[in-house]
Structure 1
Amino acid sequence: MIRFQIAKWAAWAPAANTSQASLLNLAGLSNEAPSLSEMPAMLRRRAGRLGKTALHTAYQAAEQGTACPVIFASRYGDITQSVEQLQLLAQSGVVSPSAFSMSVHNAISALFSIARKDTASYTAIAAGEETIEAAFTEAIGLLADDDAASVLLVCYDEPLPAPHHVFTESPAFAHAFACRLVKADRGFSLSSHATTHPADDLPDGLAILHFLLSEQHSLRHTAGARTWLWQQDV
């Protein structure tokens, strides 16, 4: 079984909600609006609020000057952009090509790649309530390849805009985190098994990060017919 450790991480969430989520004790959590000064202005202007938060954490967790595979994972992506474009299309029959380009799921990762002139592998993942696990499974697979010394993983989501806000699985608040993962003899592992137990509440991305930075031995997350088991050697 491949095990991993976190070499570097960064996270963002609004201050008003971090206390509600009992995450104020998560040292290193930033709640200031990201300026994204690391990215050239021409590209930075194309990113929306969610994109800026995701990219901010990606820059903070990335290893400067070293290319590695990058995974961007989001259950809904920048759906606000998509809804705005659909509303504009319904009203005027016209869609801005530049705005549309930022509504696709891999747009935020593409900005990061272009800005860094990075030709390494980039992957954009969306897997419903198992998005976090799917992203880490992909990262573990890349670490199993001896050519990948590390993998940068970026997870982000925000509440669904109207009219989709009525869906209960929408995140409670916007958040993003990034981790640079490295293979290790002792560390974290992830596995799953079939289950018929009722589903637990989905831990948001910051709750997963909180576990990864804690000394807890395990965390279980049931999604549909599958239970994911996060484990740590401590």
Structure 2
Amino acid sequence: MRIQFTIAEWAAWAPGLETAEAWREWARQPFPPHGEGTPALGEVPAMQRRRIDRLGRMAIQTAYWCQRAEAEGIPFVFASRHGDVACSVELLESLSRRETLSPTSFGLSVHNAIAALYSIVRGERGNYLALAAGHATPEAALVEAAGLLGDGSPEVLVVVYDAALPEVYADFRDEPDPFHAWCWRVAPADRGDGIAVGLGCGAVPAEAGVPEAAVLPHSLEVLRFLLAGSGTLRHVADGRQWEWRHGG
């Protein structure tokens, strides 16, 4: 299986990496982002902005930067391997103490909350979805985008984001997990303007060795691949090998 598409525009945010030039420099010498910064998210009125937590601000900021102001009604895909799991942990701890749960906190803990908040603040009434697909979350997001393009959408907004896992899940951490978010405005392969990319999926080759220890989370490896401008990226997840390739 192979799909082809065009990245018409991209944006990304992580602590200390807040401009396109900073991200291009990072792609030449990558490292896991770290720090306590949060996007200003000045596009959102203060009353609404107060409801959006740190991870949500990162994801929504990149979406605002990437989606053209006049581009209303296009579908969008929000994808995160873990989502805001820290919020869920806080709710569970409150339950264990027999405390009353905040309905607002519960509503913001579900996996599609950030996508819903973006649709509300933008006044979007079109199709959106939120997904989690383990190690292949970025790939699943682009497969969904390809399906939406195939159904006739001129573009799809794809937002990929994740946060550090709470310490209670430390034993399950299998890759670096810095706060980060990126967004791609995805268009059909014949668009002409943008970065042509292909994504394939197949069986894991018999000669595939043991992967090296990860320096970056896979979602940031995918962003680094895009910014590199050439070459391929191979990723094995759940018994399948994915291959990203520049040029389709």
Q: What's the TM-score bracket when you normalise by the shorter of the two chains? A: 0.7 to 0.9
1:145 shift after superposition: 2.1
Q: How many residues align?
A: 226
- Cα distance in structure 2, aligned partners of 1:166 and 1:122: 33
Q: Which moved more, 1:96-105 or 1:179-188?
A: 179-188
> Which TM-score applies when normalising by structure 1?
0.88
Distance 1:128 1:2, change over 3 A: closer
Q: 2:173 aligns with which of 149, 153, 168?
A: 168
Relative to its length, the structure with more helix (as a share) is 2
Aligned 1:221-232 pairs, distance under 5 A: 221-232=235-246
Deviations 1:62-92 (A, max 9, x none): 1112121100000011111111111111113
1:154 shift after superposition: 0.3
1:170 shift after superposition: 4.9
4+ residue segments displaced more than 6 Å: none
- Cα distance in structure 2, aligned partners of 1:41 and 1:81: 21
Distance 1:43 1:88, change over 3 A: same
> Which TM-score applies when normalising by structure 2?
0.83
Q: Which moved more, 1:131-140 or 1:42-51?
A: 42-51
* Counterpart for residue 119 of structure 1: 125
Q: Is the 8 A contact 2:135 2:218 kept in 1?
A: no
1:50 shift after superposition: 0.7
Q: 1:101 aligns with which of 92, 99, 107?
A: 107
- Cα distance in structure 2, aligned partners of 1:25 and 1:72: 24
Aligned 1:47-196 pairs, distance under 5 A: 47-67=52-72, 68-146=74-152, 148-185=153-190, 187-195=196-204
Give the residue type in structure 2 aligned to 1:153.
V
- Cα distance in structure 1, aligned partners of 2:102 and 2:175: 27
* Counterpart for residue 10 of structure 2: 9
**Percent same amino acid at aligned positions?**
42
SS class of match (2:167): coil
Give the residue type in structure 1 aligned to 2:180.
H
Mapped pair 1:233 → 2:247: yes
1:231 shift after superposition: 1.3
Distance 1:168 1:108, change over 3 A: same
Structure 2: 5+ residue runs without aligned partners? 18-22
Deviations 1:179-199 (A, max 9, x none): 101112372111111225456
Structure 1: 5+ residue runs without aligned partners? 17-21
- Cα distance in structure 2, aligned partners of 1:58 and 1:171: 23
SS class of match (1:93): coil
Distance 1:134 1:199, change over 3 A: farther
SS class of match (2:25): coil
* Counterpart for residue 42 of structure 1: 47
